[in-house]
Amino acid sequence: MAGTLSKGIKLSYKATGSTFTDLTNLQEIPDLGGSADSVEVTTLDDVAHMYINGLLDYGDSLDFTFLYDKTQFTTLNGLSGSVSWKVTLPGTGGLTATFDAEPSVKLNGVGVNDAITYTLSLKPSSAIAFA
């Protein structure tokens, strides 16, 4: 049976240097990758609309959800500018997605008897590379 469980997915970052720092308490990751915009290239000789792929669109931001931890929240909130990010899927030879993005964080709303969470939003400033 093929398949991989989401348990063990890692998000890490490096603001400077060459070492990635793993983040803890990750609960949810967004879709990774993009879909190409359609560019119409229909001519007067065509019998139907014709299209080619345009630029990839990763969306406005990639949102990752974490259980609240003051130290990690404060660290991420202090990051500015473009930072390198890596998502690693579990398993030997697991897929990685690396990209640069500008981070921002926000505390999520809560109700009675809820766990406190926050969202790390990453605005991509490079292509996502899969390896």
For 65-79, the pLDDT digits (tens) are 999 999 999 999 999
Task: Give a yes or no: residue 61 inside a domain.
Answer: yes
User: HSE (CB half, 13 Å, CA atoms) of 42?
Assistant: 8
Average pLDDT over residues 76-100: 92
| Reported confidence tier of residue 82, pLDDT bands at 50, 70, 90 | very high
| Reported confidence tier of residue 16, pLDDT bands at 50, 70, 90 | confident
Task: Give a yes or no: residue 87 inside a domain.
Answer: yes
Could you tell me if 122 and 62 are in contact, meaning their C-beta atoms sit under 8 angstroms apart? Answer: yes
Task: Give a yes or no: residue 108 inside a domain.
Answer: yes
Which residues constitute the domain of residue 62? 10-35+53-130
Task: Give a yes or no: residue 123 inside a domain.
Answer: yes
Cβ neighbours around 85 below 10 Å, total: 24
Task: Give a yes or no: residue 93 inside a domain.
Answer: yes
Q: Is the pTM of this model over 0.85?
A: yes
Q: Please list, in sequence order, all residues whose beta carbon lies within 8 angstroms of the beta carbon of residue 18, skipping any fewer than 6 positions away.
A: none
Average pLDDT over residues 19-23: 97
Tokens of 126: 């490079």
The pLDDT value recorded for residue 91 is: 77
Number of domains in the chain: 1
